[in-house]
Chains A and B, each alone.
Chain A
Amino acid sequence: MTPLKFQAPEVPEDKARAGYYALLARLFYSGPDAALLATIGETGEIASGAEQSALADAWNKLAAAARVMEAEAARLEYDQLFIGTGKAEVTPYASYYLAETGREKILARLRGELVGLGLARSEGAHEPEDHMAGLFDVMRHLISLGSEDAALQKQQGFFDRYIARSFPGFCDAISKSEKANFYKHVAHFALAFFLVESEALKVF
């Protein structure tokens, strides 16, 4: 196996999309460390053209939350939310939100698709492939392949099959959890971003 190399796409908007997928993958795989919190916080206010967009608004709130969040607390919060013996407070696996039963079927299909894309889970990873962070990494990879129609179609297909119908339930579960604080802002931003993605992947 060769480690995956990510190249930033040339189209600035796709570069931004890849960046957001990378960030969300990181934040949903484990709690942020101090350096990551600091960098998110340092981005400051984003104005998005003439009118304030839901995405910019959600980002600004996430940045504000990152500025006052301590890394240790964020890590603890991540563990309490997404990791648990038995059932986690919020499960980070997409197939749970896609179907109540038949998770194995979804996983088998996903594994087949990953093989087709030349992707595989690394030896160090123990999480099943439908972990949200893993799916976001796949999107990031697909975005890095280019902005041509064929590349966009791949993105659209993968997004539709695994993310489009799982992110609302996932983000909603985080928003409703009493254990969530910083991650409420992460979920809010993720929701805003994926709503944009849902629309953007239809318009090409």
Chain B
Amino acid sequence: MKNLTRSKLSRRNFLIAAGVGGAATAAAIAGRALTPDEPKAAASNDKRRGKGYQDTAHVRSYYNTAKV
């Protein structure tokens, strides 16, 4: 068994060293900037926005959870 705590840290350290951590702010801003192309989708999305993350137009128009 590998040391889980240690490996988690090394994964995060790797991501930080690679610049993912440093660029986190940019990613968050860009993630929020995903504005919809279709006005219809935009209206339905507004209610579902949470924690600063907004679904992409693509996400809304492409994949849905199929848990009916």
Where the two chains meet, the residues of A that have a C-beta atom closer than 8 Å to any C-beta of B are 1-8, 11-13, 15-20, 22-23, 25-26, 29-30, 33, 35-36, 38-40, 42-43, 46-49, 53-56, 59, 63, 114-115, 118-122, 124-125, 127, 131, 133-134, 137-138, 140-141, 147, 149, 152, 196, 199-200, 203-204
A-B residue pairs in contact (CB < 8 Å), sample of 9: A2-B68, A19-B24, A29-B56, A29-B57, A49-B22, A56-B23, A118-B66, A133-B62, A138-B63
Residues in chain A near residue B62, CB distance under 8 A: 29, 121-122, 124-125, 127, 131, 133-134, 137
For residue B18, which residues in chain A have a CB less than 8 angstroms away from its CB?
Answer: 48, 53-55, 196, 199-200
Q: Within residues 9 to 52 of chain B, which ones have a CB less than 8 A from any CB in chain A?
A: 10-12, 14-35, 37, 44, 48, 50-52
- The CB with the most chain B CB atoms within 10 A, among A26, A36, A137, is that of A26
Please tell me which one of the listed residues A36, A124, A203 contacts residue B10 in the complex, with CB atoms under 8 A apart.
A203
Q: Bin chain B's interface residue count.
A: 35 or more
Query: Closest 3 A-B residue pairs measured CB to CB?
Result: A39-B33, A53-B19, A48-B22
Contact assessment for A13 and B24 in the assembled complex, using a CB-CB cutoff below 8 Å: yes
Binding site for A on B (CB under 8 A): 4, 7-8, 10-12, 14-35, 37, 44, 48, 50-53, 55-68
Write out the residue numbers on chain B whose beta carbons fall within 8 Å of the beta carbon of A16.
Answer: 15, 20-21, 23-24, 27-28
Contact check, B66 vs A25: say whether CB atoms are below 8 A apart.
no
Q: In the assembled complex, how far is the CB of residue B64 from the closest CB belonging to chain A, in whole angstroms?
A: 4
Find the A residue at minimum CB distance from B15.
A13
Establish whether residues A8 and B51, one from each chain, have CB atoms under 8 Å apart when the complex forms: yes
Residues of B within 8 A of A199 (CB): 14, 18
